[in-house]
Chains A and B, each alone.
Chain A
Amino acid sequence: MKRFVYINDDEASKELCCDNRISNTKYTLWNFFPKNLLEQFSRFMNQYFLLIACLQLWSLITPVNPASTWGPLIFIFAVSASKEAWDDYHRYLSDKKANEREVWIVKHGIKKHIQAQDIQVGNIVWLRENDEVPCDLVLLGTSDPQGVCYVETAALDGETDLKTRVIPSACVGIDLELLHKMKGVIECPIPDKDIRRFDANMRLFPPFIDNDVCSLTIKNTLLQSCYLRNTEWACGVSVYTGNQTKLGMCRGVAEPKLTAMDAMIDKLTGAIFVFQIVVVMVLGVAGNVWKDTEARKQWYVQYPEEAPWYELLVIPLRFELLCSIMIPISIKVSLDLVKGLYAKFIEWDVEMVDQETGTASYAANTAISEDLGQVEYILTDKTGTLTDNKMIFRRCCIGGIFYGNENGDALKDTQLLDAITSGSTDVIRFLTVMAICNTVIPVRSKAGDIIYKAQSQDEDALVIAAAKLHMVFVGKNANLLELMFNGEMLRYEVLEILEFTSDRKRMSVVVKDSQNGKIILLSKGADESILPSARAGQHTRTIAEAVEHYAQLGLRTLCLAWRELEEDEYLEWSVKFKEANSVLVDREWRIAEVCQLLEHDLYILGVTAIEDRLQDGVPETIETLRKAGINFWMLTGDKQNTAIQIALSCNFISPEPKGQLLLIDGKTEEDVSRSLERVLLTMRTTTSEPKDVAFVIDGWALEIALKHHRKDFVELAILSRTAICCRVTPSQKAQLVEILKSCDYRTLAIGDGGNDVRMIQQADIGVGISGREGLQAARAADYSIGRFRFLKRLILVHGRYSYNRTAFLSQYSFYKSLLICFIQIFFSFISGVSGTSLFNSVSLMAYNVFYTSVPVLVSVIDKDLSETTVMQHPQILFYCQAGRLLNPSTFAGWFGRSLFHAIVVFVITIHAYAYEKSEMEELGMVALSGCIWLQAFVVAQETNFFTVLQHLSIWGNLVGFYVLNFLFSAIPSSGMYTIMFRLCSQPSYWITMFLIVGAGMGPIFALKYYRYTYRPSKINILQQAERMGGPILTLGNIETQPRTIEKDVSPVSIRSPVYEPLLSESPNATRRSFGPGAPFEFFQSQSRLSSSSGYTRNCKDN
């Protein structure tokens, strides 16, 4: 499908119709009610409640006023609906603001001022500096004579650097007057969401001389919501408008994620539902039997002799209605409320604010905080997530000479400085590549300093290092680059840029040296993509060794290379390159092919080594979280050795002898599968031992493993607590998440870059680091945090508390509903199993919504253990991971408690209020107040952390109950007129209440104390320790405890023939030989490259 956009032609573009009205709203004024209702009723629970409410309208079977169900139902629907409406209204307001912004467009050669929403496809939009782009435009002209302009795309992809955009070649040199009258056609794909691709063609109509088809790329576009910077004006033709823009298409409602806890609550709800059906059936049968045997004799009931056909159904249905409160109608609303608050706590947490940038944490998904406490696997990216992504040039190796090895900083290596002053060709070429083989834009600040705007941190580091080594990249004037070397101005003209892609793993530029007119190809890239293209005669061995050496130090390496091109060669190639650039289908792939044609016979200049420091607190965080029983997988696009080094330095894996590293690799498929089997075997034998075993796999092997040995790999994944996957593609990252999820593990994916987006979206919980690689990951994520170390707090503090709180809240909700329902059931046995409700309608309606909801909501600030204790004993997270606080057996406990309390309340009430006091309304109120009193004490007993709010809500709620009932009792027309005043003036009422509390709470309190003291859970022990201030709180104790264990296990012997090479801190032990196998290695890596790019291609085709 293609779209043809006719520039400046209203008629022709008419059929594309849509204007630039942006609409992010979910509803309109008209469809809000039907749509919202439909949405709410798509939930099973709501359908169920609606059915109950409808049944209640049948007065023959309803035990109480239908309002007792309709009231809460409507209330709950109103709450959800108004939340939706509020959100939607805000979306509408922001849309409206964007839509009504004034923009300039050019129509028939005249500039007009219109609202942004009136822009049509094909209109020429005129922008001034710092204007926001109103829709997706194809650039036609800019104030810059070269047709360059700069945009900030932060709103689109979160990258804060300026990007260069150029006008299409066909538009070069068209003057302003003509520009306004321009006619032409743009052939572009139908709107899609890929913000990195725009494969289109443009043809201008006469009178323009250049009538050839001219290819357009993303570089020729201005996308909606970007800002025009450092450019006086720019104009472009709109190709996508409104919701069809790239940004508009990117939006989309994410699938709501369901937490493990929600699933468990649903399961329990299901169980209760079944229980309810059983109760209803039993009581229904009993009721019908009683009716036929007993009630017929009771003349005052006047059962008719002839009954309608549905007579048998009446009693069961009545019980169904009576028991419908077993499933608490308010649980959904309560959960939504507290979940919202959990998310707010995360955002409010000042300890999770990145001090450097002032970025607070942000919870985009408010519904899954409990899952944080149940994480079992963390899949983490390396660069920018574990590391700072703050690149610093540290060392280099030029022509076989290592610089910076002594002091660890090549910039201060006198040997290098000498080589520069002496003018060594290799060194100067090396510096030139460092300075200009990139897409960096130097900008002069007001103070006169040069600031580099780079898309990648590596390039930034290289350019800055080059500048410090006297090769200063001074300015970029369209295609003309200016270098200042020792006071001498060098000029290069950029002819082509062969861009970096993750498949190619290298980038090159073709420049023309203005000094001597020579055309040079400058390349930089990963070793395995550069070294195979080395010139035949060159010894790449020293380079490979240098790479290996640097990788072992945990440095990121780039190989720099150079080749002089013959003019003919370049021109010939240039045609092909242009062709490839204008292909509409598979353009990326074709370009890569063409690039390969030029990038060969390279003269390898040397290797740069860039340090990417670990973020603060990463090792501690990982250690703590591993202690908490969370397994870590590192998924990185980086080299194996770099990855292993980083893994070692951040406690990811332990050095020998405690840790063991198993490699899965191989040169052929068989090798890989054999290696996989061997690792699996080792893994099976070692799982019983307290040893850190990790496996390392790279992207190529991973692909084979996933394709052919999925079962084995899954088993491996289950067995291994740690894994390092290097050189993996974004889609492989997502696949790994998928595998762990399929084994029923709770996964958390954390990353910072665009390449992590897929895994973040795939995982149960996606966490984005709002870091230097832009905000793309943070936007896709459920949570975004500033630094990796906040993960510890996010999981151990917020996740754990959320889990505990929800566990209490949900079970308590069932408890209170069951309690009142059991009393109704008991009452039915003394009311002729006829389905009479003991409680009046008002009480039933208010019970779930008012009387019992407030105290339980305050459990959102309950803390069983202080944050410090949890941090010191992360193992306690186990209770959450294993779901110890909410599962069928804890639920059974609550079920039993409600049964017990129901018996207590019921028995005491009917005995204390027997004979002359057994008035219906009074008895009902006594039983209800008994329930409310017990509620208050149960909440109080289960609260660990009493703040003012807790006291206020628990005891205030009790007072509120009486106030509310006094109010009801003051209304003469209500059924309970004066009841509460009468009761409260009777001493027997209060005596009964105390008895209910004493009898109801005594055994529970005793049981709790017994368990707490004699069968304590770990949480209890820590609570005791924390509050008694025992020796456990001294850090030294904790530190020494694991140490002694380490000593016990330290001697390791070689046990089995499948023993894998151990990892140690000494470089020799881990070093993989590069000796005779080196050529194979290259061969292999080349095949890897092609196979992996083939893989991504497949993905794209899908």
Chain B
Amino acid sequence: MSDMEGSPGSSMHGVTGREPTFALSVASPMVPTDTTANFDLPVDSEHKAKVFKLFSFANPHMRTFHLSWISFFTCFVSTFAAAPLVPIIRDNLNLKKQDIGNAGVASVSGSIFSRLVMGAVCDLLGPRYGCAFLIMLSAPTVFCMTFVSDAGGYIAVRFMIGFSLATFVSCQYWMSTMFNSKIIGLVNGTAAGWGNMGGGATQLLMPLIYEIIRRTGATPFTAWRIAFLIPGWLHIIMGILVLTLGQDLPDGNLSSLQKKGNVAKDKFGKVLWYAVTNYRTWIFVLLYGYSMGVELSTDNVVAEYFYDRFDLKLHTAGIIAATFGMANLVARPFGGFASDKAAQLFGMRGRLWVLWTLQTCGGIFCIWLGRANSLPIAVLAMILFSVGAQAACGATFGIIPFISRRSLGIISGLTGAGGNFGSGLTQLIFFSTSRFSTAAGLSWMGVMIVACTLPVTLVHFPQWGGMFLPPSKDVNRSTEEHYYSSEWDEDEKKRGMHSASLKFAENSRSERGKRVASAPTPPNTTPSNV
């Protein structure tokens, strides 16, 4: 299993076609347990855990899980910490609507670049240092909020704090060194979802901290600045915990990994080419921009919206806004679960329909949210919108592993970047101008969600079909093997570099749904070097 360590795609490596999102453990015959190892959890031959025991802090596997998701959670808290305090900040800094909107765009744009760099940093320094470096070097940017005195400074600081969202990459990378590939789907999905919850928790936390500081006698314009010291310290504390309690690999730290030579590395140029020339990549980049992207945008605007539209107190608006982000606890895993269930019955077509349904429903509820005139209806619409959008995020990553085997890492990275890009674009169009009130902006965002989800109807796999069209009738093209080995040229196939793809293809036959049993043996798929 030590092929291609550290190469592009290895962070999502080992995600095969078959694990359901809720695989909590891997049974012994499938993956043999290494009985000589002395860990709290059963491990495989690489000492990666085969079991996901949620409430354990055992070193190193579960401890890594908790350190990792809490670090990611902390970065979400600080990136969106300003959002629930905007009603105070906008008066202190004399902001206009454009300034508030531009700051929201800035807060999600920084991480587009930092996530790309983070992959390389994890390859060089290991995920433990990658995470610690990012989280401790972004602590000063959080503390900078205390100095801000005008719109320009506010936008700049939110941009810099946004870089810390690249902990997503270190989080996923670190998990893949600690958990067996058959359960990595659940582990990574849970970590991502729980990290995203930080965007909700901060809407509760920051107004509470602000209120407490005000009660001690500080004026509002000073109290919000002091409140920012808390997320800053969370960064420092998590960074120190990661450095002292964490380790890169089950057996120790990164230096031992780097001693292993002779691994066949894949060429970055080729991996990028196959990612970029697959049209499905771009459809999912767009789609994720309107599931994850709108989630991030809503994290930025919803507290201020409830405060202004319904004349609520700051902490009441915060509580309502928090329920939006906190729904990630169950909504995102639910999306993955629904996708897997649909795949069992209807194969890939089921997955596509589930994604389209969840995301479109999210869009419709978003339209409703903007138009709701009474508080209870608005809260109901918001909760339904959050479930739709977040479940769609989970369902998206139920499909992404099947787009490509060779370029999985890059496609995941591009999709993630698409999420942030969609968020920035949406905030720029709808929430940075006085042309739309925030309510109208929300409704138009809902319309855009429905429109931008339509391209999923164009996704077609020759071996499995699409939402409406059946699989290809051509006997050669309608096999999983053909699809996955078409990413390798003849020369590479001669060298047997595509053998992992062939294994993946065999495992992915489950995406035919109930038709698996009737799949004929495809001709010309036996690799020539067998």
A interacts with B: no
Q: Which residues of B contact A (CB under 8 A)?
A: none
Q: Which residues of A contact B (CB under 8 A)?
A: none
